[in-house]
């Protein structure tokens, strides 16, 4: 098995890989709250284990075995988040830190049974897809609210920013997963958006619109 630190590096490389071909040392250092020199050391170790492809100065990518491990950790993280919200009634902004610890519980049998216990959920409380026991998951393509025009509408299906502060703000505005919204107007001055919802109208900044994801 891999150490906690190794698992966290693989997970971070996976996440950063979604936005860029090669993941850089500095990107990892920033995400992992560590120093670039520490990252370099770990990259060598992971490369020795053939979990990443590492060329000095050129960044890294995951090998297939490395990606498998990363996805398995993400599966665990999201299933535990689902458990915490659905079974223990935590709010969606409260579960991230706990799941950061729980994702390292090693047993796959445990996580598969947890999956069954909860009825094989497809999405976690933030709308992120939960990989199945073979690591497969739908990448339903979402767009930020900021990308749609006046009078277009969609259903809230995810967030880009997972910080507690952002999630709490959304909760307060009623902008939660599954809600239908329609763009009523866009303010020219700051491009903030006025959204029509079932029972009310809310105004959100461009920043918020960029981080709120919908399907049409």
Partner DNA sequence: AATAAAATTTAGATTAGTCTAAATTTATTA
Partner DNA sequence: TAATAAATTTAGACTAATCTAAATTTTATT
What radius of gyration, in Å, describes the C-alpha atoms of the chain?
19
Applying CB under 7 A, among 10, 16, 39, 145 the residue interacting with DNA is 39
C-beta neighbour count of 94 within 10 angstroms? 17
Stretch that binds its own copies, among 38-46, 89-97, 138-146, 162-170 (CB under 8 A): 89-97
Please select the residue that binds its own copies; options are 26, 58, 65, 87, rule is CB under 8 A.
87
| Stretch near DNA under the rule CB under 7 A, chosen from 29-37, 118-126, 141-149, 179-187 | 29-37
**How many residues line the site for its own copies (CB under 8 A)?**
17
* Comparison of 84 and 193: residue with beta carbon closer to its own copies: 84
Cα distance between residue 57 and residue 83, in whole Å: 41
Q: Identify which range of 101-109, 123-131, 154-162, 165-173 contacts its own copies by CB under 8 A.
A: 101-109
> What six digits make up the tokens of 194?
């006025």
For 45-82, the three-class secondary structure string (H helix, E strand, C coil) is HHHHCCCEEECCCCCEEECHHHHHHHHHHHHHHHHHHH
CB 2 → DNA: shortest distance, Å? 8
For residues 110-149, which are near its own copies according to CB under 8 A? Answer: 110, 113-114, 117
CB burial of 198-215 (b: ≥16 within 10 Å; e: otherwise) equals: eeeebebebebbebbbbe
Contact status: 36 vs DNA (CB under 7 A): yes
Contact of residue 201 among DNA, its own copies, none (CB under 5-8 Å per partner type) = none
CA distance to 32, 38, 74, 76, per residue, from 45 (Å): 16, 11, 21, 24
Q: Which residues would be at the binding site for its own copies (CB under 8 A)?
A: 84, 87-90, 97-98, 101-102, 104-107, 110, 113-114, 117
């Amino acid at each position: 098995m891999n150490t906690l630190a190794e698992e966290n590096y693989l997970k971070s490389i996976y996440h950063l890989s979604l936005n860029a071909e090669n993941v850089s040392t500095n990107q990892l250092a920033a995400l992992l709250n560590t120093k670039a020199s520490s990252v370099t050391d770990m990259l060598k170790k992971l490369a020795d284990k053939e979990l990443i492809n590492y060329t000095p100065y050129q960044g890294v990518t995951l090998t297939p075995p490395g990606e498998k491990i990363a996805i398995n950790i993400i599966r665990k993280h999201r299933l535990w988040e689902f458990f915490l919200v659905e079974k223990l009634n935590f709010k969606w902004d409260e579960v991230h830190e706990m799941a950061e610890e729980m994702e390292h519980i090693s047993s796959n049998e445990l996580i598969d049974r947890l999956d069954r216990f909860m009825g094989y959920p497809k999405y976690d409380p933030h709308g992120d897809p939960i990989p199945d026991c073979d690591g497969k998951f739908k990448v339903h393509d979402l767009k930020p609210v900021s990308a749609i025009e006046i009078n277009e509408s969609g259903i809230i299906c995810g967030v880009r920013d997972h910080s507690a502060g952002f999630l709490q703000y959304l909760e307060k505005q009623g902008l939660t997963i599954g809600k239908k919204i329609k763009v009523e107007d866009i303010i020219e001055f700051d491009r903030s958006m006025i959204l029509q919802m079932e029972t009310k109208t809310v105004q959100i900044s461009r920043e918020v619109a960029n981080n709120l994801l919908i399907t049409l």
